[in-house]
Amino acid sequence: MNVQWYPGHMTKAKRQMQEDLKLIDLIIELVDARVPLSSRNPDIDQLGQNKSRLILLNKADLADERQNEAWKEFFQSKGFHVVKVDSRNGAGMKTIQNVIQEACKEKIERDRRRGIKNRPIRAMVAGIPNVGKSTFINTFAGKACAKTGNRPGVTKGKQWIRLNKNVELLDTPGILWPKFEDQEVGIRLAFVGSIKDDILNMEELALKLIDYLKEHYTGLLEKRYGISEEGNAVEILGEIAKARGCLKKGEELDYTKASGLLFDDFRSGKIGRITLEWAEQEKN
């Protein structure tokens, strides 16, 4: 689901988030491993004060593994617990169980001191649209998990998914709104498909992506399309159009079609595992 955000959306999402946060101990925040900063809304740090925090670098399968590691260290250095995951195929799910216990150590200890035994940790998944929240909840919870709210006698309202005897997950994720203040953030979210394509100039975006790939992942376009990376971005897009037979009537190159194809390939990982924001640059 990709949506556009207006102030009304933001206020509503924020209010909902504030309500749900009252119910939980742990925030499981999903970010897109290809754009770990642009896919984050830092307001969560303020909203989620006093909560245990776990960041999942989701879609890690599509991102550069060296950068995944660098981002993991980056967020760990800021005090977050971090796990790299691929929610589509389930990689990383086992690790999360242990990390949740670790992240909530203080709460467990506090309960123990007060004589409260075996109170499950209550967690909520949060993240901007399209980051993979639903996919994650389905994979993590698995089909075998019963929704506690479906049991007779349980009052209506919030539904909890009991993951095991230690952890319960709110079944509706918290939706964070993307932060568009910086134009570059909007461009990166568009690259990964988190902004509706039909309001974007896809050709212009394709040229920007080509420039980025040429500079940071030299050789991948050559390999994917059997073309030369010599020349400027317009020429390279033209080469892709030729290589893939994107032609209009009269043999004119169809740059729009070639742009669409480039983005399909990029977003599905066919060009390679690519990260659009580098952790090293953030440290400086």
Other CB atoms within a 10 A radius of the CB of residue 222 amount to 15
State which of positions 145-184 bind ligand G4P (CB under 6 A): none
200 to 259, contacts with ligand G4P by CB under 6 A? Answer: none
> In the complex with ligand G4P, which residue's Cβ is closer, 81 or 133?
133
58 binds ligand G4P (CB under 6 A): yes
Q: Identify whether the C-beta of residue 126 lies closer than 8 Å to the C-beta of residue 175.
A: yes
Between the CA atoms of 123, 126, 131 and 137, what dihedral angle is there, to the nearest 10 degrees?
30
Q: From the annotation, which residues make up the binding site?
A: 58-61, 130-135, 174
Shortest distance (Å) from residue 6 CB to ligand G4P: 18
Contact 207, 45 (CB under 8 A): no
β 167-170/160-162 pair status: antiparallel
Q: Binding mask 71-100 vs ligand G4P (x if CB under 6 A, - otherwise)?
A: ---------------xxx------------
Which residues carry a binding-site annotation for GTP?
58-61, 130-135, 174
Piece in contact with ligand G4P (CB under 6 A), picked from 4-12, 38-46, 54-62, 71-79? 54-62
Residue 258 Cβ vs ligand G4P, minimum distance, rounded to whole Å:
21
DSSP code at position 54: E
Residues contacting ligand G4P: total by CB under 6 A: 16
Cα 70 to Cα 76, 84, 107: the distances in Å are 10, 11, 29
Residue 177: closest CA among 114, 129, 238, 117: 129
Nearer to ligand G4P, 17 or 237 (CB): 17
253 in helix, strand or coil?
strand
Tokens 């709110």 -> residue: 170
Binding characters for ligand G4P, 120-149, by CB under 6 A (x = yes) = -------x-xxxxxxx--------------
9 part of the interface to ligand G4P, by CB under 6 A:
no
CB 274 within 8 A of CB 62: yes
Residues that bind ligand G4P (CB under 6 A): 1, 58-59, 61-62, 86-88, 127, 129-135
